Amino acid sequence: MTGAVILPRLWRADLLLFQWNFNGNPSPMRTLYRIFLSTIVICASASYTWAGAWSANQGGLYAKLSYNHYYTNYTFTDGGGTQRLPKGTTFTDNNTALYLEYGITDRLTISGSLPYKWLRSTYRQQVTVGDQIKTRKVETRWNGFGDMELGLKYCFLKEPVVTSVQFLYKNAWLYDKNENIPPGNHQDDYELRFLAGKSLWPFPGYCGAEIGYRWRTQAPSDEFRYLLEFGINATRKLSFRVKLDGTKSMHNADLPLQPKPVTTAYIDEETGQVIKTGTSTSSQAVSANPSLGLQYDLGKLEFTTSYQVAKRWFCELSYTNYPYGKNVSPGDQYSCALVYYFDNKKSPPSPLKIDDSN
């Protein structure tokens, strides 16, 4: 699951609403004790959402608007190593993405995401000028909407481990098949995913795990998807999260005929060295967008910091690295996001208002 990053409920505020059996007027110490517990309740209740396996409350809304910058000039090979992209290719994906979740019921959540991309690809081309062979840089740009994704998640177990099932549908309705730089593979995906999450109280953190299978139409291979996540509240407003998001190809893609390996070379302007590259990763998609693939493995390691700036508003900063993969490009991605979170849940009653006359 993408998007939801505020920590799920780490402290069950309802467990703190003890029955009070003081007789007569409480002493100053008892009053201080009540104030202390009230503070715990207020602080605790500010730290929950429906990230991962957690579902939204009915009528609850989670909205995330993010800006992402991705850059690469390398690719993973068939064996999992890395090499420079052919012809000195570089690729940049700057995009804004809107992610939404809404609680239809307390157990059923609908979600959707849509990016708008500014893509840029460059490569080195050798041209003959008179008797000399020179290298020039060729640049291609494209901007527009990418793949849209819609989801439906049902939480069928809340104790002892929050467990949900999710169906996702990805489509390419908003761009053409023959774009200068393809933002996607221009086909439909269907995914079934199982999600589990657990609060680590009294430790102020949570963990989650997800597994799924994605059926991909047309040429791309089906995929096994997996995710591991851990989050922690450092303070009342500051939280951190680390997430490993993995894709494993099922090796059933409809690949084009494998061309003979071709070695190319160009002069690196920064170092002045001659860089030789090959085209052995033929199962990678159109070279104009090396972040796409027809049959690939990939692991994404994301680090996120979230800070609450207002009652329902959060700011996030993320960095994503690609530590392993095959037949697709690694890279570095930097993201910043503004999050709005409305849980549509009444605040728990304060212990100060509990009648203790009995």
Q: Does any domain span residue 5? A: no
Looking at residue 220, what DSSP letter applies?
S
Q: Does any domain span residue 8? A: no
Q: Is the pLDDT of residue 263 over 60?
A: no
Q: Does any domain span residue 129? A: yes
pLDDT, residue 130, reads 74
> Average pLDDT, stretch 252-259?
78
Q: Does any domain span residue 259? A: yes
Q: Does any domain span residue 157? A: yes
For 331-342, how does the pLDDT look when each residue is reduced to its tens digit (9 = 90+)?
Answer: 999 999 999 999
For 179-207, how does the pLDDT look when each residue is reduced to its tens digit (9 = 90+)?
Answer: 999 999 999 999 999 999 999 999 999 99
Kindly give, in sequence order, each residue whose CB lies less than 8 Å from that of residue 244, ignoring residues fewer than 6 positions away: 227, 228, 229, 299, 300, 301, 302
What percent of the chain shows pLDDT beyond 90?
65
pTM of the predicted model as reported, rounded to 2 decimal places: 0.78
Q: Which of 299, 298, 231, 222 is nearest to 253 (CA)?
A: 222
Q: Which residues pair with 319 in a beta bridge?
A: 303, 334
63-77, 126-140, 211-225, 321-335: range with lowest mean pLDDT? 126-140
- Model confidence at 136, in pLDDT bands (50, 70, 90)? confident
52-66, 165-179, 206-220, 279-293: range with lowest mean pLDDT? 279-293
- Model confidence at 124, in pLDDT bands (50, 70, 90)? confident
Q: Does any domain span residue 7? A: no
Q: Is the pLDDT of residue 344 over 90?
A: no
| Distance separating alpha carbons of residues 348 and 158, to the nearest angstrom | 19
| Domain ranges, residue 106 | 13-353
Q: Does any domain span residue 2? A: no
Q: Does any domain span residue 286? A: yes
121-130, 140-149, 327-336: range with lowest mean pLDDT? 121-130
CATH number, domain containing residue 163? 2.40.160.40
| Number of domains present in the structure of the chain | 1
